[in-house]
Amino acid sequence: MYETIPADQLNTVGKKSGRVDAYEKVTGHAPYVSDMIMQGMLYAAVKQSPHARARIVKIDTKKAKALPGVRAVVTGEELQYRLGLYVVDKDILAKTEVRHFGEAVAAVAADSPLIAQKAIKLIEVEYEVLEPVLHPLKALEKDAPLVHPALGDYSYMEAAFTPVPGTNIANHTKIRKGDVEKAFAQAEWIIERQYTNPSVQHVPMETHVAIVRWQPNDEVTIWSSAQSPYTLRNLFCTAMKLPHRNVRVIVPYVGGGFGGKAGIGIEPLVAVLSRLAGGRPVKLMATREQEFSLLPCRSQLTYRIKTGIAADGKIVGQHMTMYWDAGAYADYAVNVTRASAYSAAGPYEIPNAWVDAYTIYTNKPFGTAYRGFGHVEFHWGIERHMDLVAKVIGMDPVEFRRKNTLKPGSHTLTGELIRTSTGSIDKCLDAACKSINYGKLTKAEKDRQKRTGMKIGKGVACFHKAPAMPPFTATAVILKMNEDGTVTANLTLTDYGQGSYTAIAQIIAERLGFPLERVKVAFDCDTDRDPYDWQTVASKGLILSGNAAILAAEDLLACAYDTASQALRCNKIDLAHDADKIYIKHHPESAVTFRQMAVGYAFPNGNGIGGPIIGVGRYIAQGLSHLDKATGQGNPALDWTYGAHGMIIEVNEKTGEYNILKVGSAFDVGKVVNPDSVRGQAIGGMMQGLGTAVCEGYIYDKEGHLLNPSFTDNKIPTAVDMPLEIECMVVETPQIDGPYGARGVGEHPMIGVAAALGNALQQSTGAEITHMPMRYEDVWRAIRHIEPVDNWITKSPFGSCKSSPQMQGHHPELG
Amino acid sequence: MKITVTINGQKYQRDVQESQTLLGFLRADVGLTGTKGGCGAGECGACTVIMNGEAVNSCLVLAVEADGATLQTIEGETVKGKLSPVQDAFARHHAVQCGFCTPGMIMTVKDLLARNPKPSRDEVIHGIEGNFCRCTGYQQIIEAVLDATGQLKESDKEGLKYV
Ligand code: FES
Ligand code: FES
C-alpha cells in the first residue's frame, strides 16, 4: 500500500534523531502515575494468600475497619464481578478458594500507606490448606485436582480458543499440516527431545500502579501504568457492567511494561475501593515483591519436539507438543499458546506438521504477555533442537538450518505463502555467522584460549515472530495543526520506552515534508480524547499506527489543500507544498502558508474559509483471518520479522563458569525508521533475553510457595553482565504494507538469545542443556552428564536447574 | 521530628515521621518526584541521590539521618533549563527508554565523574553496576558517559550496521 521511497529521497525516516521524550526523562520531569498525588487521595494495600491452594473458611475484617484512618475494606464475597481477557475466569479478589501464592484476598484504602499496611495486618483470614497442583504435566493427570471446576460455565472468546471443561486445560490449539506419520515413516532419522523453561518476571522498573476515582454517579477515571488504555477500559466496563462513556482511562509516562502491563491488572480492585470510599481517589502501587506474585509473570513451558529428517538433511515432518503452564488464571496465556502454536517450528519449512499446544491451569501465579509472547520460550526449544538434531545427523548446525529455512515459495505451519517481501531469514543468519566468524577460531581467539585456559565456543540461533493479534486489529491517529503551523498527533498506542512516538513523529514529518521539530506526539493517552487503539503489544505499533499516521498526514494535507485551492483560486491538482506553504506549481509566488490556514483562512476583507486543519488516519490490519480450529490453517500474520543471533563464549570446563565475549544480532526490519531506536531495542532485548538465559526464574517449594520474589534472590542483568562486544545489524527487505517499508522489532531481539548461548555451550563443551536458565552449576552438571536435580519445585532454594531431559535415553533414536 | 536539609541549593524544613525514608521525604514531603523508587530495598539504584557529596540509595536512608545534609537530586542537574553534559549525552545517545531508571542512573554517573572525570569503559560499567536498567541493556548509557567525558572514539560511533 505504501510505496517505498529510495533512501536518498527520505528526509526524516531512516535518519538519526533524538527521542521526542528525552528531555522530560533526563530531567526527571516526566510524570509517571507513581509520581501523582490527588486531592483527598487514599492509599490502598492488599492482603495476599500465603498458600498456593486453600479454601477460605473465614475472613474477619472487624479490627481493620475499626482502625482510625481506614476508609474502605473489601473482601471477595462482596464483589460480584468476574474478569478475563479471553477466558472470564478471575474474581477481583479470591472468593471461596485461593488459587495461587500471593493471590489477593482482601484490600483496604486508608489515609496513609502506613495505616493501610497496619490494617492489612489486622485482617484475619482462616484457611483450610488444600493440596495444590503445581506441575503442568501432573495437572493433566486424570485424578488431578481441578483449579477451575467451573471452567465449563465460564464465557470465553470462542473464535480463537478451546477450553476443555472437566480438566485443567484452559485452551487447546491444534495445527495440522500434511501427513506427519507418513513423513516419519519415510524419514532417515527421527529425533525427539524435550525442552523446558521456568516462569520469569518482566521487572519493569516502575511497578504496576493505578489511581482510580469512582464517583457516586458511576463516572470512573483511571490513571494507570497500563500499556493498552482502550483494552483496559473495555475489560473494565465489561466486568463492571458500565457504559464505556462513563469510564476514562489516562496513561501518562510508564516506567516499562514488556507485556506485563498489557491487559487489566490492579485497576478493578482500586476502583471498588474508591467506590466504597465514597468516590475519593485511591492509589495502589505494587511493591517489588508483589510484582512477582500478585501480578502476573511469564508462563513456564515444557516443549516436546519430534522431528523426521530425510537423508539429505531436509526436515520432512515434525510433531510438536507444548505444555504451557498458565498458572491460576488464563489471562494472556491462552493466546500465548495460540500464537506459539502457529509459529512453533521457528523460521523453517515443515511440509508435514502436527502441533498440540495446551494451556494448563496450575496453582501458581498466572502467566501473561511478556516481550516475545511465547516465542522466547519455544525458540529456546526449537533452536536448541536444531543443534541437537544436527549433532545426531552429523551435519553442521548452520548448514542444517540453511537447508530448512523458510524461503520465498515456502508455506508456514498455517499454510501462509512466504514471499520475497516477507523478509529474509537467510540474510540474517549469514550476517550473524559472519559477525562471530562462525565455524572457526581466529588467531586472537586461539591465543585467548591459551592465555585463559578457557574454551571458546560459537553458536547461532534463528527466530521469527508475527504479531499475535485479532485479524481485524485497528488503530487511528488524529493530527491537528496548531496556529503556528506545527502539528500535534494524538493516538493511544502508548510509548513506555520503545521509542514508538519518535518513530511516529518521524513518519508524520516525512509524509508532511515538515522538519521533525514541527511535529509533536502527545503523551498522556486519554480514552476521552484520543482515538482508539486495540493494545500496545505484539510489535504491531509501528506498522499499524505508522500507517494510520501516514493516512492522517495525507488527510491533513488534503484538508489544507482544500483551503489553499480556495484561497489561491485554483485547482487542487495544480498545487504543491513545502514545509511552510502551499503554492501554485507554475506560479510559485502565489502561495499561502500553513500558518495562515492552520485554524481557518481569512481573506483580506475578513471573510473566513476552511476552519481548523485536522487529519484523521484510520487503519485496520488487512487480509488476515481466524485460524480453522480443527487444522489451524489460516492467515494470522500481519508481518514476520526474522532475525538471528550469533554468540561467542568462553567456558571453564572444570567449573562450568562462562563469559559471553560477543553477541552479533541481525534483524530484517523492513526499513529502519530510527537507527538508534532500533539499536536500543536490539541491545535492550538481547540483554533481557540474556537475563532469562543466564539467571532469572521462579523457584517454588513443594507447597507452591514462591521462594525468590525479590531482586536479592531473582537477579536481573546489570552492566557487568554485558557481553564484551555487541554488534547490531539490520537487513532491509521492505514490508509492502509497512510504513516506508518498516516492520516491528520491539520484541524480537529477546527471542533466540538463550538458544544461541545453549548452542555455543554445546559447541564448545558438548553439554546438552535443555533447560534454561543455564547457571554455572547447570553447565558443570551438563558437561559431566550428571543427572539433573529437578528442583524448580524444591524444598530448598538451592540448585534449581534441570540440565538434561527426562526424555534422554528413553528414545532409541538418541542412541 | 523536625529536620532541615539543603536540596539543590534550597533549604527545606519539614516535620517527618521517624520511619520516613529519604526517598519518601523527597517525593512526598518535598514534592521532588524526579527521584524514583524501584524496590525500596537498596537493590535497584533508581532512588540514587547525592548526599554530602556521595551517591546513596535514598530508600535506605532515613529522612532523619539526612538532617543537616546537603543533597542533590535530578531536579538540580538542569541549570536554567539547560541540560548538563551528562543529561545531554543521555538524550543524544538514546540512553533513555522508559526513563524510570534515568534520574538515579544520572546521579550515579555524576558521582562517578566527580571521583573519576575520565572513566574507562570498564570503570563506567563498574560505576553503574548498582543501577538496574531493564530497557536499554546499558550499552547506550555507557556510550553516553564516554561521550560526555569526551572519550567516545569514532570507531565506537558506527552504531547500527546495514547488511
Ligand atoms: S528503590 Fe532504592 S535501591 Fe531500589
Ligand atoms: S530506561 Fe527503562 S529502566 Fe532504564
Mean local confidence (pLDDT), A4-16: 87
Decide whether any atom of ligand 2 lies within 6 Å of the B22 Cβ: no
C-alpha cell at A551: 493516512
Domains of chain A: 7-30+473-620 (3.30.365.10), 33-132+208-285 (3.90.1170.50), 374-467+639-805 (3.30.365.10)
Say which of A207, A683, A719 has its CB closest to residue B125.
A719
Residue that is last in its domain, among B57, B76, B95 = B76
Q: Are residues B62 and B116 in the same domain?
A: no
C-alpha cell at B61: 536512608
Q: Looking at ligand 2, which residue's alpha carbon is closest to its atom 3?
A: B133
pLDDT of residue A808: 33
Q: Are residues B6 and B72 in the same domain?
A: yes
Q: Are residues B60 and B91 in the same domain?
A: no
pLDDT of residue A790: 47
Whether chain B has a CB inside 8 Å of the CB on A206: the answer is yes
Residue that is last in its domain, among B76, B93, B123 = B76
Count of CB atoms within 10 A of residue A23's CB?
18
pLDDT of residue A807: 31
Instruction: Give the E-state strand segments of A165-208 in sequence order.
Output: 169-177, 189-197
pLDDT of residue A809: 32
Say which of B43, B124, B135 has its CB closest to residue A712.
B43
What is the C-alpha separation between B161 and A239, in angstroms, rounded?
Answer: 48
Residue pLDDT, tens place only, A572-585: 999 999 999 999 99
pLDDT of residue A786: 72
Q: CA nearest A690 in B: which residue?
A: B137
What is the C-alpha separation between A31 and A28, in angstroms, rounded?
Answer: 8
Whether the per-residue pLDDT at A141 is higher than 70: the answer is yes
Whether the per-residue pLDDT at A155 is higher than 60: the answer is yes
Mean local confidence (pLDDT), A120-140: 97
Mean local confidence (pLDDT), A119-134: 98
Cell 513506555 found at: A496
CA triple B80-B84-B85, angle to 5 deg: 150
Residues of B with Cβ-Cβ distance to A682 under 8 angstroms: 160
C-alpha cell at A386: 536444531
Count of CB atoms within 10 A of residue A596's CB?
18
Residue type, B8: N
* A335-347 CB burial, b ≥16 within 10 A, e <16: bbbbbbbbbbbbb
Of residues A599, A582, A493, the one with CA closest to residue A537: A493
DSSP string, A505-572: HHHHHHHHT--GGGEEE--SEETTTSPPB--S-TT-HHHHHHHHHHHHHHHHHHHHHHHHHHHTTS-G
pLDDT of residue B126: 98
Whether the per-residue pLDDT at A798 is higher than 60: the answer is no
Residue pLDDT, tens place only, A721-757: 999 999 999 999 999 999 999 999 999 999 999 999 9
Q: How far is the CA of A204 from the centre of ligand 1 (A)?
A: 13
Residue that is last in its domain, among B34, B56, B76 = B76
Whether chain B has a CB inside 8 Å of the CB on A205: the answer is yes
What is the C-alpha separation between A755 and A773, in angstroms, rounded?
Answer: 10
Q: How far is the CA of B23 from the centre of ligand 1 (A)?
A: 9
Label residue A799 by pLDDT band (50, 70, 90): very low
Is A602 in a helix, a strand, or coil?
strand
Count of CB atoms within 10 A of residue B52's CB?
12
Residue B41 counted as domain residue: yes
DSSP state, residue B95: -
For a ligand 2 pocket test, name from A21, A34, A205, A261 the mutation site with the most ligand atoms within 8 angstroms of its C-beta. Answer: A205
CA dihedral sign of residues B105, B107, B108, B114: positive
Residue pLDDT, tens place only, A54-67: 999 999 999 999 99
Label residue A5 by pLDDT band (50, 70, 90): confident
Whether the per-residue pLDDT at A250 is higher than 90: the answer is yes
pLDDT of residue A788: 54
Residue B47 counted as domain residue: yes
DSSP bridge partners of A562: none
Decide whether any atom of ligand 2 lies within 6 Å of the B136 Cβ: yes
Structurally, chain B folds into a number of domains equal to 2
pLDDT of residue A8: 83
CA atoms in the 13 A half-sphere facing the CB of A603: 10
Q: Are residues B10 and B55 in the same domain?
A: yes
Asked if B19's CB is within 8 angstroms of A730's CB, the reply is no
Cell 495562515 found at: A596
Q: Are residues B120 and B58 in the same domain?
A: no
What is the C-alpha separation between B132 and A404, in angstroms, rounded?
Answer: 40
Q: Is the Cβ–Cβ distance between A749 and A665 less than 8 Å?
A: yes
Q: Are residues B71 and B92 in the same domain?
A: no
Q: Are residues B136 and B110 in the same domain?
A: yes
pLDDT of residue A787: 61
CATH number where B57 lies: 3.10.20.30
CATH number where B132 lies: 1.10.150.120
Residue pLDDT, tens place only, A204-243: 999 999 999 999 999 999 999 999 999 999 999 999 999 9
Whether the per-residue pLDDT at A785 is higher than 90: the answer is no
- Ligand 1 neighbours, Cβ below 6 Å, are B 37-40, 42-47, 57, 59
What is the C-alpha separation between A493 and A227, in angstroms, rounded?
Answer: 8
What is the C-alpha separation between A695 and A704, in angstroms, rounded?
Answer: 20
pLDDT of residue A791: 41
Q: Are residues B103 and B48 in the same domain?
A: no
CA atoms in the 13 A half-sphere facing the CB of A127: 18
Q: Are residues B27 and B62 in the same domain?
A: yes
Mean predicted lDDT score pLDDT of chain A: 95
Residue B42 counted as domain residue: yes
Residue B163 counted as domain residue: no
Mean local confidence (pLDDT), A531-545: 97
Whether the per-residue pLDDT at A815 is higher than 60: the answer is no
Q: Are residues B91 and B150 in the same domain?
A: yes
C-alpha cell at A663: 553477541
CA dihedral sign of residues A64, A68, A69, A71: positive
pLDDT of residue A814: 32
* Pairing outcome for strands A82-83 and A725-731: unpaired
Give the domain extent around B106: 85-158
Whether the per-residue pLDDT at A608 is higher than 50: the answer is yes
Q: Are residues B93 and B71 in the same domain?
A: no
Q: What percentage of chain A carries pLDDT values higher than 90?
A: 95
Residue pLDDT, tens place only, A640-667: 999 999 999 999 999 999 999 999 999 9
Residue B99 counted as domain residue: yes
Is A751 in a helix, a strand, or coil?
coil
Mean local confidence (pLDDT), A83-97: 96
Asked if A720's CB is within 8 angstroms of B103's CB, the reply is no
Whether the per-residue pLDDT at A519 is higher than 60: the answer is yes
**Average pLDDT by stretches of 10, chain B with 163 residues:** 97 96 97 98 98 98 98 96 97 98 98 98 98 98 97 80 96
Q: Are residues B65 and B118 in the same domain?
A: no
Q: Is B9 exposed, middle or buried (0-12, 13-18, 19+ CB in 10 A)?
A: exposed
